[in-house]
Chain A
C-alpha cells in the first residue's frame, strides 16, 4: 500500500462520510473533497493526527455561485494531501492562521484576487494587488475583464 493509499484508508476510517470522495491519484498525492461544515474536522485530523505539518498554498477557484478552495498540505517524506471544499460567494471561510501562522498570505491572495471572505484573518497589508486597485474588482473571477486601457488607473 502506498503512502497515499494508507492516508486514504485512515481518512475513510475516521470520516465514513468521505467514502467515494477521497482518492490516491498517485503514490504521493491524496485528494479529498469535503463539505464546508466538515472541513475543519478533516483539516485538523490531517494536520495533527496524520502530521501534514506543511501548508504549501491555498488555490482559489471560481465555480460560479461558489468559490472553490484547495488547501495543499504536505508532510515529511513527500506526501501531499489536497483538501477541496467550497463556499458560496459572499460567505466566509475560517482562517487557518492559528494552525499555520505563515498561511495568512495565501488567504490574503484569495481575498484580493477572488473577493473571498476569510473570518479571523489578522490585519495586514493587502497582497498582491496595488493600493490603488479599484474596490470590488477581483481579477481572477471568470467574468472579470480589464476595462478600457487606462480606465483602471485611480
Chain B
C-alpha cells in the first residue's frame, strides 16, 4: 500500500546543497503549468517527514554536508535520493574545488542521476518517470 502511494504519488523534498540555482529553478519550473509535474502526482513538500523522494541539487559544500545527512536521516523509509544536475552527479564544473565534496553520492546513497547543466525540466520529468517505473517493476 505504501509502495503504491510512493509510486503513484511521490512527494518530493527539494534540497540545495550549494548549487548555482539553475537546477533548483528547473525543478520548480517542472511543477509550473508548462511542464506540470503535478499531473504525475508529484508534490513538492516542505518537510523531510512527508517526503518519499529527496531531489538534491548541488555539489555538496562542506558547510552543508552535515545538514544534508541530518535531513536524509529525517526522511522516513522507504526513501530514495535523486541527484539532479551535473553538480549533484559528479561535482560538475566545481569538481575538485576546495569547499565541495563533488557529488551527492559522496555523502548519501543515490538512486538516480539526472544529468544536465542545468538539468532541463524535460530531463527532470523523464528522470522521475524512469525512477517511478523501476519502482513499479519491483526494482
Contacts and interface: CB of A to CB of B under 8 A. Distances in A.
The answer to whether A and B touch directly, with their CB atoms under 8 angstroms apart, is yes
Interface of A: 129-133, 139, 146, 152-153
Contacts of B66: 132
A125 to B, nearest CB: 11
A130 to B, nearest CB: 4
Contacts of A129: 63, 99
12 contacts: A129-B63, A129-B99, A130-B61, A130-B99, A131-B63, A132-B62, A132-B66, A133-B62, A139-B98, A139-B99, A146-B98, A152-B98
A152 B98 CA distance: 9
B102 to A, nearest CB: 9
Contacts of A152: 62, 98
Contacts of B62: 130, 132-133, 152-153
A130 B61 CA distance: 9
A22 to B, nearest CB: 36
Contacts of B61: 130
Contacts, number: 16
A130 B62 CA distance: 6
Interface residues of B, number: 6
Contacts of B63: 129-131
Interface of B: 61-63, 66, 98-99
A132 B99 CA distance: 11
Contacts of B99: 129-130, 139
A83 to B, nearest CB: 29
Given A129-B63, A130-B99, A139-B99, 6 more contacts: A130-B61, A130-B63, A131-B63, A132-B66, A146-B98, A153-B62
B40 to A, nearest CB: 37
Nearest to B97: A146
Nearest to B96: A146
A112 B99 CA distance: 13
A146 to B, nearest CB: 5
A132 B63 CA distance: 8
Nearest to A144: B98
Q: Which 10 residue pairs of A and B lie closest in terms of their CB atoms, listed nearest first?
A: A130-B63, A130-B62, A146-B98, A139-B98, A132-B62, A133-B62, A130-B61, A131-B63, A130-B99, A129-B99
A131 B99 CA distance: 12
A127 B66 CA distance: 18
A112 B12 CA distance: 36
A132 B64 CA distance: 11
B20 to A, nearest CB: 15
- Which of A130, A139, A146 neighbours the largest number of chain B CB atoms within 10 Å of its CB? A130
A153 B99 CA distance: 10
